[in-house]
Chain A
Amino acid sequence: MSHKVAKIGATTLVLATVFGVLLYTTLGESMQYYKYVDEVAASPQAWEGKKLQVHGYVVPGSIGRKRDRLEYQFDIQRNGQTLRAYYTGVVPDTFKDEAEVVLTGALTPTGFMATEMTAKCPSKYEEAPNFSTAP
């Protein structure tokens, strides 16, 4: 019996270690920090070049778009701090003034370059089924 327990224990340990290490290494590549606009805007240098998701609200009237292109430029804010953001692609149905958005991308000195955008419904849907352009 104890022999069997030892075998099972050893197998579990080895498997757990292997998967743990694998998880840890793969996590490193795909981790993104999840921050609110004010946290990022407070110390932009610290966040430059890191994979980042930024959560904030679109500043009313700030959405601009290039003619003939799907290139957007807008400001997002939270608690009075704002951040300039750029996004190219199809925006979700709910992307508009005051919309709550989560942008994925990287911070540069000119602003936040978003590669993905998720917009929540501006008001309180208990469940607003996903409005997303991701992936």
Chain B
Amino acid sequence: MSALGYYLLLAAFVGCAYAAAISVAGARRRSRALIESGTGAFYLVAAIMTAASSVIVYSFVTGDYSVKYVQRYSDSALPLFYKITSYWGGLDGSIMFWVFLLSLFGSVAVYINRERHRELIPYVVAVISVVEMFFLLLMVVHKNPFETFLTESPADGTGLSPLLQNFYMVIHPPTMYSGFVGLTIPYAFGMAALITGYLDDSWLRAVRRWTMISWLLLSVGLGLGMIWAYEELGWGGYWMWDPVENAGLLPWFTATAFLHSVMVQERRGMLRVWNVALVITTFLLTLFATFMTRSGIVTSVHNFGEDPVLTRLFTIFMVSTLVLSFGLVIHRMPLLRARNELDSWLSREAAFMFNNWILLFSAFFVLFATMFPTLSEAVTGERITVGPPFFNQWMIPLGLAMLLLTGIGPLLAWRKSALVNLRDQFLFPTASGLLVGGGVVALGVRVWSSGLCFAFAGFVLGTVAQEFWRGARVRQQTTGTDLFTALIGLVGRNKRRYGGYLVHVGIVLMFLGFAGEGFKQKQTVEVTPGQEITVRDFTVRFDALKVTDDGRKQMVTGETTVFRDGAELTRMYPARWYFRKHEDAPTTEVAIRRSFSEDLYIVMSDFDLAEQRASVEVVVNPLVNWLWFGFGMLAFGTFIALLPERAFAFADAKVPAGAATASLLLLALVLWPSAVLAQEVAPRVRFTELEERVRSEVMCTCGCRRSLTFCGMANCHGEADQMARLREYISQGQSHDQILASFVSDMGGEILMSPPDSGFNRLAWLLPYLLGAAGLVTIVVTARRWSRPVAVAGGADVMVDPALDARLDDELRDLD
């Protein structure tokens, strides 16, 4: 089975190469047949990747532990659900999942746009194929998920880390990945537009939806990650500016900026270079995010293995993408000239520009601060870090400015706002903001950032309410229906606009959650039964410590009773769970009591059964649930904006709004798809740093031709011999290099896993790159050869046909 999987990957690689080469050839020769052949190969790759995915899932479900990847991330005791999702449990599988998603998304995008954007399609196919080829190359030469144990294979797997056996952890990585992968599509269309020179706004319309969908997935992915951190990790918060979290945030910033600046180009024909640059930057940031979290160039509490090969391959790919993409932008600069100039700073396009600057600056700042340790080490040789306070110091003002702009933007007119209108527009929202601000001050809120946040939130909500109210009133007068029907009809007519406003409401709700962070209180106490902890108006009494076992895990539970103002409120059970096979990594089970105004969050971090003693942390997190509501609202708003034309026909049929909302939510649930961050499992024996390093470099003598780390043979005596030898060298005080030299002198040069990096041996290192480069050269040469211009008389109008007229109509209707 696993051999089949590997061949499927190879076939996909070849298919991509063919698709890329022949589409470009077809476009250059203006041959429909060639283009269709290329597109067909492109669809075929999606089919092959689906088959390959089925193979790996099949291996997981049937427990084929001869496949290393399966052996590492699952075991026979794992529930079926987690067996299937282990597909994206580790790096190798997640790369494959990435290609799988990309091939699917790409095929759908190409299929949908095959008529409307016919001139772009061949290059879209080529660009996506090349990206797929890169990831396939990674798998084929370096991270093959179908790699098997060459000799005897283990009877059972090592199992999935218990921390990842959690619903959110199952859907968070695939959601993030889908978002990342989805952002490749706009990039491919942007590149196609640059290559062909069809730089009118049509490529933008083709990718608008894709960007929105990807953005939604990215937002939901970030939200799920935050919920997971909050519920599982037990430190009372949800975001700590860890490099891995930041990595997901970077493309989110630029994608958000793009979604806004796109409107300026559609309406006013400005910011055209800017938009292309944003699409490219976003794509590069998705690559960079993967690279940053995988290569070990930043230190993170997410403990990634360092992988120099991956680092090099990624660096080469990113640098070439960067140079090629921006090179094309510069090459096409004359075609990207703006059609209009900015008329006034008091206009909506100006507000959008500020919005873009802030978002881009945020992305730049987060990137800078995340990379700071690496940068400082490169420049000064001294590794210097910056902590979360530094991020907060910058991101709080930036966030507040963004929030304020969210309210201001919709109130300004395109081109130029007349002063008279300004007063009319700003009166209600400003009053609402001031009212909330005043109320907050009167209530005695003394945290400036939170206070401002509340006032701005009032302002934005005022803006949104005013927009809905005014729009609905106008529609009610013109159509003569009741206000509610008019409201639904209004949203249906302008889904993007009003869906967007709902997203703004979601953002406001999220900011309420952030503001609550300023009032967080916590206390950590060591308690014995009967003792009490008081935080704000909650009193938590520790009652007892119990131990239970359910067969899969042992659970140590602290029983507590919560009182508020003297009255008993509820009982809560923070716990520590010890999963079988993972006893050395217990999970913290947080007890949370949720409410609209605050969460009571109890963690039992340590205990002593003999003395019935436990350390308990009690946290009161005000308003935190509004953050999750905000994510829900954001998703809902985006769905409205994404609905197809016909979806709002019911607005005229007077369907009860409840049914509409419920079906939308259902749709949202169904559509939440799935892609990947990796996690690995702890081996049972532990070694010192030096031992671990040598173990991965020295071969086992049992005949498996693997390093000591990966021998994996049951009762392998070769490993024991080598370890004894290694310990002896270490006890002689030898350094790492001396030890390797000793191994070579005792057992011959073949004992090392990888040839020393010198002279002829460098060829071994170069091979993967040569392979990749050869593939690329082949494509270019083939594409050029096949695409020698055909001397057909009147060939110029081959691409023009009646379908173009239909397309033109479509596009005109699309302009809102």
Contacts and interface: CB of A to CB of B under 8 A. Distances in A.
Contacts of B692: 124
A33 B304 contact: no
Interface in B371-415: 372-373, 382-390, 393-394
Nearest to A22: B394
Given A70-B526, A127-B679, A131-B233, A121 B605 contact: no
B91 A30 contact: no
A74 interface: no
Given A26-B393, A89-B524, A129 B386 contact: no
A68 B526 CA distance: 6
A104 B385 CA distance: 10
Contacts of A104: 387
Contacts, number: 136
Interface in A3-31: 4, 19, 23, 26-27, 29-31
A133 B522 CA distance: 13
Nearest to A98: B686
Please tell me the size bucket of the interface on B.
35 or more
Contacts of A73: none
Interface string A93-110: 110101000101000000
A6 to B, nearest CB: 15
B195 interface: no
Nearest to A89: B524
A76 B661 CA distance: 57
Interface stretch (B13-21, B448-456, B585-593, B802-810): B585-593
B642 interface: no
B386 A34 contact: no
A134 B617 contact: no
Given A128-B303, A129-B302, A130-B233, A30 B524 contact: no
Contact of A91 (B373, B605, B681, B683): B605
A8 to B, nearest CB: 11
B383 A34 contact: yes
A100 to B, nearest CB: 8
Interface string B589-607: 0000000000000010110
Interface string B227-244: 001001101010010101
Given A69-B526, A70-B526, A94 B678 contact: no
Interface in B212-251: 229, 232-233, 235, 237, 240, 242, 244
B361 interface: yes
Contact of A34 (B161, B240, B299, B680): B299
Contacts of B237: 135
A105 B626 CA distance: 34
B303 A70 contact: no
A132 B301 contact: yes
B686 A33 contact: no
Nearest to A116: B387
Nearest to A97: B686
Most buried by B among A32, A70, A126, A127: A127
Contacts of B372: 27
B57 interface: no
B679 A93 contact: no
Contacts of B233: 129-132
A35 interface: yes
Contact of A30 (B161, B393, B603): B393
A32 B384 contact: yes
23 contacts: A19-B361, A26-B393, A27-B372, A34-B385, A35-B383, A70-B526, A89-B524, A94-B585, A102-B299, A104-B387, A121-B682, A123-B686, A124-B303, A124-B305, A124-B680, A124-B682, A126-B91, A126-B678, A126-B680, A127-B304, A128-B163, A134-B240, A135-B240
Given A23-B368, A33-B382, A130-B300, 19 more contacts: A19-B361, A27-B386, A29-B390, A31-B386, A33-B384, A34-B373, A34-B383, A34-B384, A35-B383, A93-B586, A104-B387, A124-B680, A125-B161, A126-B680, A127-B293, A127-B678, A129-B232, A130-B229, A130-B233
Smallest CB-CB A-B distances: 8 pairs: A30-B390, A126-B680, A130-B301, A34-B383, A90-B605, A123-B682, A128-B303, A127-B679
Interface of B: 90-91, 161, 163-164, 169, 229, 232-233, 235, 237, 240, 242, 244, 293, 299-305, 341, 361, 365, 368, 372-373, 382-390, 393-394, 524, 526, 584-588, 603, 605-606, 613, 615, 617, 677-683, 686, 689, 692
